[in-house]
Structure 1
Amino acid sequence: MKLWPWVVMALAGPASTGAELEQVIEHAKPSIVGIGSYQKLRTPPLTFVGTGFVIGDGLTVVTAAHVLQDLRNADASQVLGVLVGQGDGAQFRAASISALDQEHDLAQLHMAGTPLPAMRLGDSSTVAEGRLLAFTGFPLGMVLGLHPVTHRGMVSAITPVATPPVSSGKLDARLASQLHRQAYPIFQLDGTAYPGNSGSPLYDTETGLVYGVINMVYVKGLKEAAIATPSGITYAIPVNYLRGPAPHP
């Protein structure tokens, strides 16, 4: 399976080795965007529910596939896009889905407008347990507004995961065996993420190279518990899974 072209470019080399975390964060923030939609008759007309980050040509945005599904389920008449900027100065840019990998919960968008600063991808196969990484995004979406927030977390485990094709109540021995074969390793972090962090880049605290994409948080009880009593267990998809299926039509 071939790498998407922008992945090949992004793997070309390291970023600013030895940079302080403060500088790395400031360098990363212009590449962080909100993933949302626009609908003229809605109040407010602009909304966002997840995070994305810019790579490659400056117009390519990576996010979690389930963020796009959440937006599509909400209202089919809305315009999909990204929010660029910060706070009240945010700008909405329409975007289209150019690649979708639901198996690994990854998606690629192409946004309109001028290019933004791009983050660079590292080789996620080099990440071992104990590695300290950071992720920047919008933890509670519209609640906190378009102000990027950075959290740190250690890779506490590299663990297999698979998405069941049916509800857990319908799993039988055959389907359980199939899931085991389909499982692939992802990063488990001891950092605290929230639902709006889905799609956030997980990057090295010294070089800024991206090694993963935040995709889910372990929830104790109901979904609302992720905000009220966060578990402190977060999962991220390694960026080496940023490989096509065929581009989204």
Structure 2
Amino acid sequence: MRRPAFYSRSPRTLPPAADDAADRADASASAEAHDAGRAAPPLVPAQPARTGWQPGRRSFALLIVLCTALVTGTVLWAPRPGGKALAQKDIDAAVLRTLQTNTLPSPAAKAADIIRPSVVRVVSYGEEKNTPEARIQKRGRNMAKGKSPEAPNDGGPSGEVERGVGTGVVIVDKGVILTNLHVVAGADKIKVTFYDGLEAVATITGVQPENDLAVLQAQTVPDDLIPATMRSTADLRSGDQVAAVGFPFGIGPSVSAGVVSGLKRSFRSPEGKQELGNLIQFDAAANPGNSGGPLINMDGEVLGIVTAILNPTQQRTFIGIGFAVPIENAASAAGSPPF
């Protein structure tokens, strides 16, 4: 007896030639059985012929999704009517037009914007000195205020006399300030003015006489006080751009820009009492009142503390040579570890 076939779930079908051969074999078996007087076995119903691949529902849905994505992608990537692909010369022309129509800030201006919130005005009060430097500072302050150069000093707190004006830079947000020792030495009272206008009394918490440095602690500080970022001078070279920020003759904060003129310089005070070594020489303008202020690079990072200017006369005005104590020395005065 011929067994019925088990049909595979595969959509594939036998070739037409194979189907014809099977039909002929079934007909021959039926004829032989009839001749022998025996009942012919029941025939298995023939399956309808399948013409080609018939996908299932899932396959058909996937096909629809793929077709839709293909059409959508074609529309998205198709160039817009009238559009023009940008060439490199078009991009260069747009950049050049922007540079010509927009004024970009100078490197010194950007550096000054970074450091300015960390710079403070330092004023010392006490008995008025009669030294050449003190007289020059007094005349400069009076002229800046529109007064006669020889006008008497204004009274400070409790009737004290404003003896000197300098600059300081905040290095810790709790109100720790670096300045020059000669700005605050012997003062009866020290007052600092922060960037936002807040005035506070400050006290000396540390000194480093060999480098003319002093550390101040402000008794009151702004809530959003921003300390300066310090930068090692190990890779500093002659010709590097720098800027000095401070209060020359009490005017400021003022900014002057220049370059590093030399390294490891020495300077002896006009009175000959002290010699400073390992100094940064720079040509950014500095005058009395810049003392204690930061010398910065074009990233607004503090490289040193402005401490002196060289002048062969007694006028104490800038002739192009200034000196700054490297920040490594200044940071050690405040108890900070070296770089």
TM-score under structure 2 length normalisation: 0.52
Alignment of 1:158 with 2:263, yes or no, is: yes
Alignment of 1:117 with 2:234, yes or no, is: no
- Please name the residue that 1:23 is paired with: 110
Alignment of 1:57 with 2:162, yes or no, is: no
Contact 1:83 1:91 in 2 (8 A): yes
- Please name the residue that 1:5 is paired with: none
Aligned residue identity for 1:108: V
Contact 1:56 1:120 in 2 (8 A): no
> 2-side partners of 1:52 and 1:225: how far apart?
20
Contact 1:156 1:190 in 2 (8 A): yes
Alignment of 1:218 with 2:310, yes or no, is: yes
2:198 alignment partner, one of 80, 91, 97: 91
Structure ranking higher in strand proportion: 1
Higher radius of gyration, 1 or 2 = 2
Per-residue Cα deviation, 1:134-157 (whole angstroms, up to 9, x for no partner): 11111112xx3xx31101121111
Structure ranking higher in helix proportion: 2
Unaligned runs of 5+ in 2: 1-105, 126-155
- Please name the residue that 2:287 is paired with: 194
Query: Which secondary structure does the structure 1 equivalent of 2:234 belong to?
Result: helix
**Distance change >3 Å, CA 216–CA 225, structure 1 → 2:** closer
Alignment of 1:139 with 2:248, yes or no, is: yes
Aligned residue identity for 2:203: S
1:129 alignment partner, one of 238, 248, 255: 238
- Please name the residue that 1:80 is paired with: 190
Per-residue Cα deviation, 1:28-56 (whole angstroms, up to 9, x for no partner): 1111111114643438x767510001112
Contact 2:215 2:334 in 1 (8 A): no
Per-residue Cα deviation, 1:77-99 (whole angstroms, up to 9, x for no partner): x421212246xxx3320111111
Unaligned runs of 5+ in 1: 1-18, 171-178
> 1-side partners of 2:257 and 2:221: how far apart?
30
Per-residue Cα deviation, 1:147-171 (whole angstroms, up to 9, x for no partner): 311011211111332658x965x9x
Q: Note the aligned Cα RMSD (angstroms).
A: 3.0
Query: Which secondary structure does the structure 2 equivalent of 1:196 belong to?
Result: coil
**Distance change >3 Å, CA 244–CA 47, structure 1 → 2:** closer
- Please name the residue that 1:11 is paired with: none
Task: Specify which structure has the bigger relative contact order, considering alpha-carbon pairs within 8 angstroms and separated by 6 or more residues.
Answer: 1
Identity of aligned residues (%): 27
Per-residue Cα deviation, 1:86-140 (whole angstroms, up to 9, x for no partner): 6xxx332011111100101111111122352111100122211111111111111
